[in-house]
Structure 1
Amino acid sequence: MEEKKAAGETTELSGVADVGAGDVESTAFDAKATKRLLRKLDWHIIPFMSLIYLLCFLDRTNIGNARLDHLEQDLKLHGIQYNNCLAILFPFYIAAEIPSNMMMKRFRPAIWLTFIMFFWSVAMIGQGFVKNYSGLMATRVFLGAFEGGLFPGVNYYITQWYCRSECGFRMALFFSAATLAGAFGGILARGIAEMDGDGGLAAWSWIFVLEGLLSILVSLAAYWLIYDYPATARFLTNKERDEVERRLDADHGHLSNDFNTIYVWQAIKDWKVYIHMLICMASFCPIYSFALFLPTIIKNMGYTANNAQLMSVPPYVCACFFTIAASYLADRVGKRAVFMLGCQLVAIAGFAMLAGSGNSKVQYTGTVFAAIGIYPQVPLGLAWNSSNIGGSLKRGTGIAMQVMGGNCGGIIASYVYLSRDGPRYVKGHSILIGFVCMAFFLTLFMSNWCNIENKRRDKIAQETGVQELTEEQKMLERELADSVPWFRYSS
């Protein structure tokens, strides 16, 4: 978070050269005023977005808590039917992501985010009244279709308010809600277990119904609590609106913010986006495995179902702290790959402890290390990818593609821990070690490539000298996005 730099000042992390800095210096806020402005944006944007994502992640993964309250037995699930119910959500979740981000660009965020939140809440409540395998599968389909647009949508939304060097920390604050959802879900499930049989519903039904009702109440307020864009934000003064837009223009240079499908195709054809998709998949696979199966894994260490719900809380609390801290430091030093590599090594150590020891204390410590290692990777990776994509719509599409790749990991995660591999789940832990190792080597490759490409462009710039672009050249380069010669990649 480069708050100490004067607005309009150029850094390598910003990804752009000093475009028109001389024209805006006189009107820019000083460092102190910019810091106050960013704090004002943070208080009005991040808390509610984090609340929405907390509820989204809770609704998506609370089936893991419901499982301990006899979900499988009551619905007569057998074999891998439970795993099928987990997996069916993700194809529809993935299919919704790019169209949803395009809708975010076409319509107002307040309208679109409210719409999808209301209907995933309805699907969540419906999940509490299912009677068999088919009913659970059907409600999971609708849950995935409506939830799919939120995560890429909010990450794209954040880039519409903050400069690229400031997005990583905000994305981490937003994503930390996923870790809080895990902690909150365990505590809530433990309390709801006492309602077993009330109103003719089992405890697992009440988990779905009550958490769905909470989401629907928040969705009814969302329309008035989501601010669309800086130009229409009621909490900003006219001077502050102008400054936010000026900072974004200076950060983006003259790259296009137009709605044109050419930029969608640019993202689809960009090989770098696919590398980030694979890294994201290798990050999300252990995260979803962790979120969906942690209560079961802890229970198999020898704890009762109720104690397992509560014992699932500390790993998430630790993950929350490290997720925020890692992204904050990454923004401060202007590097993300090195933090991702460090977290990946910690995650490998955690899953190795789970796979290699039969001691419950060592295993539980392994869950803490695994959580600390896997959760920070997602906001770090999203901020890294988004800072390296030029142009608004290409960035929105690229983020959606990255999250699509991540959620392909959710499909795999649904089958990592099979009942027949319990109680140790050595095979599942080993699979996750493999995925994190893949993420490590891809992150290392991408970081080296960014550094090499930046040096190549620096050398060309030195040979040609600094040239003032004409308006015609600027318009021509609008279509080149991050391929323009003055763009620099962050690493």
Structure 2
Amino acid sequence: METKSTESPTAQVCEPHTGEGAIEIYIDPIKEARMMRKFDFCAIGLLGLFYMMANLDRSNIGNAQTAGMPQDLGLVGNQFGTATTLLYATYVPFEGPVAILLKIIGPKPLLSTCAFCWGITTLGMAFIQSWKGLYACRLLTGFFEAGLIPCINVYIALVYKKSERGKRSAVIFAFSAFSSAFGGILAYGLTQVHGPHGWEGWRWLFAVEGAMTLVLVPMFFCLFPKHTTTAWFLTSEEKSMMQARYDNDPHWGQDEAFTWAESLSAFADPKWWAFWIYQFSVDISLYGFTTFLPKIVSGLGYSGVHANLMTVPIYMVGLVWFLTIAYCSDRVGLRGPFLAGPLLCLIIGYAILISVESVKVRFFACFVVALGIYPTTGLSLMWLQDNTARHFKRATMVGMTLCFGNTAGVAVGQIFTTQSAPRYIKGLSISLALAVVALAMVAALSIGMMIVNKKRAARMQRAEEAGEVLDKRPEKGDYDVYFRYSL
């Protein structure tokens, strides 16, 4: 790598930072931004497409419900709610292990295999004839989709700096919001199809969406980069720049080898406990609201197929809002306040849905809830990773936070019961209460990390006044005195 340039230097050695005993390599910000846009297109874009299809394949059961699937399969009691829950019985336990495997196996082979398998399973949903087939397919879908979300979040932290992660997370969740909106349009069209051979519209929904996933697999396998520093789309200069990014931040843990001690250290970190409680609280809203929104909207007077269509503007508003929130969060370098605002939207929206009878006001409340759904679930994982140094501890914390948090998916089918449709007063009330819990966790994390930052700054100040130099200890990760938590 060149250290000097007469025009626009890509990298040059800067003076060591006081007390850190390390030199920092200057990277041309214009060239760096151009390089990261390549990752945006070739990595984030492909991951977003997978996330979009996974969201479609996982949540289309809600659209199938309004299209008559429970009646066609002869479901009774709360069998539909149980089918919704069963996906998370296999989804939840495998999130943590797969997140750890990402760096060991590699994202390309790992995610390609998972996507192929869940695509086949979704396609198989078109041929089920009873609750037994429905239950089996939901269990398999959960197993194969388990690793996607934690792997995406870990990959973002592996490639992007703290100041770059929020926007990328928003783009990923934008694909999810788009899938929810697009899913409503697609469901509206496909559920109108009947035949041949007596095929109901909801069967076409599963068949087409499963086939769409399978089409994406070879594209992903061919285009997704194998390694961040040797990606096929980078020039030799950009490969050196990418390595320099890692060299400049020893807390990143790019070259870290797996050890059980490093992974298990995540469970001794009090931040993890607060984050998974938070994640569980907001995931109740994410899975409950997005899965049962078509039914909630149908309770406002819209027919089954029109209910699917009316969810589209709700998701689009949520999408635009999240993109705005994420941009502002990265811009000012704060996460906590940008989680607190959307949490208040959840609380207000649920309160209106529960207490108001007016159809128009309740439809408006759906938009208010949508303002909170995606920022509260997406930015929180970036906040966790911003404040966790070293790769395998970070991967373990992300995976296990999602693992424990997504037990909410198991609960959703039991609190949003068939008998309580379409108002779902019980489910919405529990969601409101847990949004309050999540807000308390944000406050606790913000205050706690602010106190630690002040203590570390005071310690460094005392050392400087005494003429001492504190050693930088990157192996201590986020417990290193030089590490600063992002609030």
Task: Please classify the TM superposition score into its range, dividing by the shorter chain length.
Answer: over 0.9
What's the TM-score, normalizing by structure 2?
Answer: 0.93
In structure 2, what is the Cα distance between the partners aligned to 1:17 and 1:264? 31
Matches within 5 A, 1:185-334: 185-253=183-251, 255=253, 257-334=256-333
In structure 2, what is the Cα distance between the partners aligned to 1:452 and 1:469? 20
Task: Report the 3-state secondary structure (helix = DSSP H, G, I; strand = E; otherwise coil) of the residue aligned with 1:303.
Answer: coil
1:156 to 154, 160, 168: 154
In structure 2, what is the Cα distance between the partners aligned to 1:328 and 1:19? 31
Task: Report the 3-state secondary structure (helix = DSSP H, G, I; strand = E; otherwise coil) of the residue aligned with 1:236.
Answer: coil
In structure 1, what is the Cα distance between the partners aligned to 2:468 and 2:158? 29
Q: Does 1:180 align with 2:178?
A: yes
Q: Would the aligned equivalents of 2:158 and 2:252 in 1 still touch at CA under 8 Å?
A: no
String of CA shifts for 1:451-476, please: whole Å, max 9, x gaps.
Answer: 01100111111112286677xx74xx
Q: Look up the match of 1:482.
A: 478
Task: Report the 3-state secondary structure (helix = DSSP H, G, I; strand = E; otherwise coil) of the residue aligned with 1:375.
Answer: helix
In structure 1, what is the Cα distance between the partners aligned to 2:430 and 2:163? 34
Give the 3 Å change call, closer, same or farther, for CA 217–254 of structure 1 in structure 2: closer
Q: Which amino acid aligns with 1:218?
A: L
In structure 1, what is the Cα distance between the partners aligned to 2:477 and 2:78? 45
In structure 1, what is the Cα distance between the partners aligned to 2:371 and 2:257? 39
What's the TM-score, normalizing by structure 1?
Answer: 0.92
String of CA shifts for 1:254-278, please: whole Å, max 9, x gaps.
Answer: 7562211211101122221121111
In structure 2, what is the Cα distance between the partners aligned to 1:330 and 1:153? 22
In structure 2, what is the Cα distance between the partners aligned to 1:417 and 1:48? 33
Q: Does 1:91 align with 2:78?
A: no
Q: Which amino acid aligns with 1:400?
A: G
Q: Look up the match of 2:334.
A: 335
Task: Report the 3-state secondary structure (helix = DSSP H, G, I; strand = E; otherwise coil) of the residue aligned with 1:198.
Answer: coil
Q: Look up the match of 1:104.
A: 102
Q: Does 1:432 align with 2:431?
A: yes
Q: Which amino acid aligns with 2:483?
A: F
Give the 3 Å change call, closer, same or farther, for CA 373–8 of structure 1 in structure 2: farther
Give the 3 Å change call, closer, same or farther, for CA 399–292 of structure 1 in structure 2: same
In structure 1, what is the Cα distance between the partners aligned to 2:186 and 2:391? 39
Report how far residue 9 of structure 1 moved.
12
Q: Would the aligned equivalents of 2:286 and 2:377 in 1 still touch at CA under 8 Å?
A: no
1:77 to 75, 78, 83: 75
Q: Would the aligned equivalents of 2:252 and 2:389 in 1 still touch at CA under 8 Å?
A: no
Q: Which amino acid aligns with 1:83?
A: G
Give the 3 Å change call, closer, same or farther, for CA 9–119 of structure 1 in structure 2: farther
String of CA shifts for 1:23-63, please: whole Å, max 9, x gaps.
Answer: 334xx222322222222322222211111100011100000
Q: Look up the match of 1:113.
A: 111
Task: Report the 3-state secondary structure (helix = DSSP H, G, I; strand = E; otherwise coil) of the residue aligned with 2:234.
Answer: coil
Give the 3 Å change call, closer, same or farther, for CA 351–239 of structure 1 in structure 2: same
Q: Look up the match of 1:123.
A: 121
String of CA shifts for 1:371-420, please: whole Å, max 9, x gaps.
Answer: 11121111210110001111011111111112113311111222222222
Q: Does 1:57 align with 2:55?
A: yes
Q: Which amino acid aligns with 1:490?
A: S
Task: Report the 3-state secondary structure (helix = DSSP H, G, I; strand = E; otherwise coil) of the residue aligned with 1:196.
Answer: coil
Task: Report the 3-state secondary structure (helix = DSSP H, G, I; strand = E; otherwise coil) of the residue aligned with 1:72.
Answer: helix
In structure 1, what is the Cα distance between the partners aligned to 2:249 and 2:325? 23
Q: Look up the match of 1:453.
A: 452
Task: Report the 3-state secondary structure (helix = DSSP H, G, I; strand = E; otherwise coil) of the residue aligned with 1:62.
Answer: helix
Matches within 5 A, 1:19-38: 19=20, 23-25=23-25, 28-38=26-36
Q: Would the aligned equivalents of 1:104 and 1:112 in 2 still touch at CA under 8 Å?
A: yes
Q: Look up the match of 1:400.
A: 399
Report how far residue 296 of structure 1 moved.
0.6
Q: Would the aligned equivalents of 1:166 and 1:331 in 2 still touch at CA under 8 Å?
A: yes
In structure 2, what is the Cα distance between the partners aligned to 1:388 and 1:8? 28
Task: Report the 3-state secondary structure (helix = DSSP H, G, I; strand = E; otherwise coil) of the residue aligned with 1:200.
Answer: coil
In structure 2, what is the Cα distance between the partners aligned to 1:100 and 1:426? 36
In structure 2, what is the Cα distance between the partners aligned to 1:18 and 1:233? 34
Q: Look up the match of 2:3.
A: none
In structure 2, what is the Cα distance between the partners aligned to 1:224 and 1:242? 23
Q: Would the aligned equivalents of 2:100 and 2:396 in 1 still touch at CA under 8 Å?
A: yes
Q: Which amino acid aligns with 1:177?
A: F
Unmatched runs of 5 consecutive residues or more in structure 2: 1-9
Identity %: 32
Task: Report the 3-state secondary structure (helix = DSSP H, G, I; strand = E; otherwise coil) of the residue aligned with 1:431.
Answer: helix
After the TM superposition, which segments of 4 or more aligned residues of structure 1 sit over 4 Å from their partners? Answer: 6-10, 16-21, 466-470
Unmatched runs of 5 consecutive residues or more in structure 1: 1-5, 11-15
> 137-146 or 420-429, which moves further after superposition?
420-429
Report how far residue 141 of structure 1 moved.
0.6
Report how far residue 18 of structure 1 moved.
8.1
String of CA shifts for 1:284-315, please: whole Å, max 9, x gaps.
Answer: 11111111100111111111112101101111
Q: Which amino acid aligns with 1:136?
A: L
Aligned-CA RMSD value: 2.1
In structure 2, what is the Cα distance between the partners aligned to 1:311 and 1:375? 19
Report how far residue 231 of structure 1 moved.
2.0
Give the 3 Å change call, closer, same or farther, for CA 8–152 of structure 1 in structure 2: farther
Give the 3 Å change call, closer, same or farther, for CA 445–254 of structure 1 in structure 2: closer
In structure 2, what is the Cα distance between the partners aligned to 1:428 and 1:9? 57
Give the 3 Å change call, closer, same or farther, for CA 67–19 of structure 1 in structure 2: farther
- Report the number of matched residues: 473
Report how far residue 246 of structure 1 moved.
1.2
Q: Which amino acid aligns with 1:489?
A: Y
String of CA shifts for 1:184-217, please: whole Å, max 9, x gaps.
Answer: 1110001101212334321111111110010011
Give the 3 Å change call, closer, same or farther, for CA 19–101 of structure 1 in structure 2: farther
String of CA shifts for 1:417-464, please: whole Å, max 9, x gaps.
Answer: 222223422222211111111101111111111101100111111112
Q: Would the aligned equivalents of 1:7 and 1:247 in 2 still touch at CA under 8 Å?
A: no
